[in-house]
Amino acid sequence: MIVEIDRRSGFCFGVINAIKAAEDELKQTKQLYCLGDIVHNGMEVERLEKMGLKSISKEEFFTLSNCKVLIRAHGEPPETYEYAKANNVELIDATCPVVLTLQEKVKSSYAKHSQMEGQVVIYGKKGHAEIEGLNGQTKHNAIIIESIADVDKIDKSRPVSLYSQTTKRIEDFHEIAQKVKETTEPGVPVEIKDTICRQVSNRVPNLKKFAERFDMILFVAGRKSSNGQYLYTICKEVNDDSYFISNLDEIKPEWFDGVKSVGICGATSTPNWLMEDVEKWIHTNFD
């Protein structure tokens, strides 16, 4: 059986930096806290936990003092930094540079709109860590929309600045942006800020070509991964025999009936070692 891993899949630079920061710190200390899972991949989180990384909730963070905490690539709102400073919590800030730049833009837009009764609108998943960090730049006053249906939440008579979570599907953002422009009252200012990370969107053309080449695709990603869900839909669109798996236990042998070639790919939060484990499993069971 022909099996190939998409070498353009796997960690983006933001995730690589966060994991390296954790590994470097864990060489010097036995335990390090991380505010939320360092990456939306349970297998990689488990690997780092064995090294001493402990994921904590936001509620747990606000009880800590005199310790070190890693901020993952998704970023955090201002109140996280304020609490850390007041309680001698040393932050190892691994916020992705792309997210950090976006936070500054959202903060600037909010300051401007506060003086002109405008609105900061963010397209993304409610409760997602990146969205929480972005909304924090507006003192949690941004309008969060999850789909084109939510555009109705926007006041059509007031100025709008529209942003996007970095990992959302670019086609969906453009569709939402078009509706915002069409439904806002004439003469009302509308700013469209395409803030989708090209580390994700630029993978799409390659992923389409990759998925077309094989009888079957195994897309490896954590269930919580937003870009994983997005990139999987790209595979499914061009190859109906595409399956989303998070670990080896989810692979079903019956998928391989009549299959002569398998492509393995993943999200920006998928470790290479996990895709390699999938490749080994296939060779062990079908060669």
Active site residue ranges: 130
Is residue 102 classed as helix, strand or coil in its secondary structure? helix
Tokens of 191: 């700013």
**What is d(CA 113, CA 158) in angstroms, rounded to the nearest whole number?**
10
Instruction: Answer whether 6's CB lies under 8 Å from 287's CB.
Output: no
**Dihedral of the CA atoms 134, 136, 137, 139 (nearest 10)?**
140
Tokens of 271: 């470790």
Tokens of 169: 């599907």
**Dihedral of the CA atoms 128, 99, 169, 111 (nearest 10)?**
80
Residue 214 pairs in a beta bridge with: none
For residue 84, the one-letter residue type is: A
Task: Report the run of H or E that residue 230 belongs to, with start and end.
Answer: helix 226-238
Q: Choose among 255, 251, 248, 236: nearest CA to 276.
A: 248
* 92 Cα distance to chain centroid: 19
Q: Measured at the alpha carbon of residue 171, what is the angle toward residues 165 and 177, in degrees to the nearest 5?
A: 70
Residues ≥6 apart with Cβ < 8 Å to 15: 39, 73, 96, 268, 269
